[in-house]
C-alpha cells in the first residue's frame, strides 16, 4: 500500500522472530528507463509480523525529477532478500502528429526512407526502410494462439474453433484512400466486421488502429485479437518497454519489473517440455 501524494509507503515485516534493524532498503528511481537516483534507508526497525507506514522525506525532491517508477530492494548482508516496484507514471508511447506523405496510391505509401505497400487483400505486404525489407510475411489478423495445458480441460480447440481459420474467411469490402494512409473494412461469413486505419505519423512511424465489430450474439471465447507477422531474420535484437527480463503473463507478472529491456530473439525462447505458447511480455 502506498500514497504517492504524501510519499507514504507501507512496509510489512514477514519475519516471525526477527526485526528489520539490520537490513537496508535501497530505492532506485527511473525515468525513461534511465537511473536518475539511488536512495538508502537504514532505519527499518519494524517488529516481526508488524506493518509500518514509512514517509519518505525526499519524495518531493525525487518527484521533481520526473520519475516513472521506483524499485525497492531490501538488502541484508549484501544480499537482496525482498523486492518490490511502484509505478509512478507509466511511460507513454511517443505522441506523434500526422505527416504528409511523398507518394500515396491505392497500393503504396512512401515518405523519405520509408515505403509501405498493401496486397490485394488489404494487408500490409511489405515495409522497407532505406531499401531494406522489414517483414518476411504480410501483416495479418490473428484470432488464435497456441494452446496450453489448461486449454484442454476447457476444450478450447472445440469451443472456439470458429476463430482458428477466420483470417482465411475475411473479405475486403472497402478501401478508402486518406491524405496520409488508408481506411479499410473486412467482413467474415456474417461473424464480424473489422475496420482498420493505417496512418503515417511522426518521424517514420506507422499508426495502425483496428476495431472489431461482432455481427452475431453469443460468439464463443476469442483466444486472442491482434495482428501478426514475421520479421526479417536479419533482425536479431528486441528492444521494448514492459515487464521483464523473463517471460511473464497477465496472471503472473508481479515479479517481473517494468523496465527498458534489450534482448536477443533467442532469449525469448522458453524450453517447455510440452510445446506451447511461450515468451510473452506484459506491461
What's the pLDDT score for residue 97? 66
Instruction: List the Cα angle 116/121/124 in 5-degree steps.
Output: 20
For residue range 147-187, what is the model confidence (pLDDT) as tens digits?
888 888 889 889 999 999 899 999 999 999 998 899 999 99
pLDDT in tens, 220-257: 999 999 999 999 999 999 999 899 999 999 898 989 99
Confidence (pLDDT) at 203 = 64
Looking at per-residue pLDDT, the higher value among 89 and 2 belongs to 89
Q: Report d(CA 11, CA 19) in Å as an integer.
A: 12
Q: Which helix (H) or strand (E) holds 29?
A: strand 24-31
Render pLDDT for 119-137 as a digit per residue (tens, 0 to 9): 999 999 999 999 999 999 9
Please give the pLDDT value at position 154: 86
Quote the mean pLDDT of the chain.
90
Distance CA 176, CA 196 (A): 10
The percent of residues in the chain predicted with pLDDT above 90, rounded, is 64
pLDDT of residue 89: 82
The mean pLDDT value for 140-148 works out to: 89
pLDDT class of 92 with cuts at 50, 70, 90: low
Question: Per-residue pLDDT averaged across 33-51, rounded?
Answer: 90
Who contacts 133 (Cβ-Cβ below 8 Å, separation ≥6)? 126, 127, 232
CB 243 within 8 A of CB 282: yes
Whether the pLDDT of residue 95 is over 80: the answer is no
User: Does residue 205 or residue 94 have the better pLDDT?
Assistant: 205
Q: Report whether pLDDT(83) > 70.
A: yes
Prediction pTM value:
0.76
d(CA 67, CA 33): 10
Amino acid at each position: 500500500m502506498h500514497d504517492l501524494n504524501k510519499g507514504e509507503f507501507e512496509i510489512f515485516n514477514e519475519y516471525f522472530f526477527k526485526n528489520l534493524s539490520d537490513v537496508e532498503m535501497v530505492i532506485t528511481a527511473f525515468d525513461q528507463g534511465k537511473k536518475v537516483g539511488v536512495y538508502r534507508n537504514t532505519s527499518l526497525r519494524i517488529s516481526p509480523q508488524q506493518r509500518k507506514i514509512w514517509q519518505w522525506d525526499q519524495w518531493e525532491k525525487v518527484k521533481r525529477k520526473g520519475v516513472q517508477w521506483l524499485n525497492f530492494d531490501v538488502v541484508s548482508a549484501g544480499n537482496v532478500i525482498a523486492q518490490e516496484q511502484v509505478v509512478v507514471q507509466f511511460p507513454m508511447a511517443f505522441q506523434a502528429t500526422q505527416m504528409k506523405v511523398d507518394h500515396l496510391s491505392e497500393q503504396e505509401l512512401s515518405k523519405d526512407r520509408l515505403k509501405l505497400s498493401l496486397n490485394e487483400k488489404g494487408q500490409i505486404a511489405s515495409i522497407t526502410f532505406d531499401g531494406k525489407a522489414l517483414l518476411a510475411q504480410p501483416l495479418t489478423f490473428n484470432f488464435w494462439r497456441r494452446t496450453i495445458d489448461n486449454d484442454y480441460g476447457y476444450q478450447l480447440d472445440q469451443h472456439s474453433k470458429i476463430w482458428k481459420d477466420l483470417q482465411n474467411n475475411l473479405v475486403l469490402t472497402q478501401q478508402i484512400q486518406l491524405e496520409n494512409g488508408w481506411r479499410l473494412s473486412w467482413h467474415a461469413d456474417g461473424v464480424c466486421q473489422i475496420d482498420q486505419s493505417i496512418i503515417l505519423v511522426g518521424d517514420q512511424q506507422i499508426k495502425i488502429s483496428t476495431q472489431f465489430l461482432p455481427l452475431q450474439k453469443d460468439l464463443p471465447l476469442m483466444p486472442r485479437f491482434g495482428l501478426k507477422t514475421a520479421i526479417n531474420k536479419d533482425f536479431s535484437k528486441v528492444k521494448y518497454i514492459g515487464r521483464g527480463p523473463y517471460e511473464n503473463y497477465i496472471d503472473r507478472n508481479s515479479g517481473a519489473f517494468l523496465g527498458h529491456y534489450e534482448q536477443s530473439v533467442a532469449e525469448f525462447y522458453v524450453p517447455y517440455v510440452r510445446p506451447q505458447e511461450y515468451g510473452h511480455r506484459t506491461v
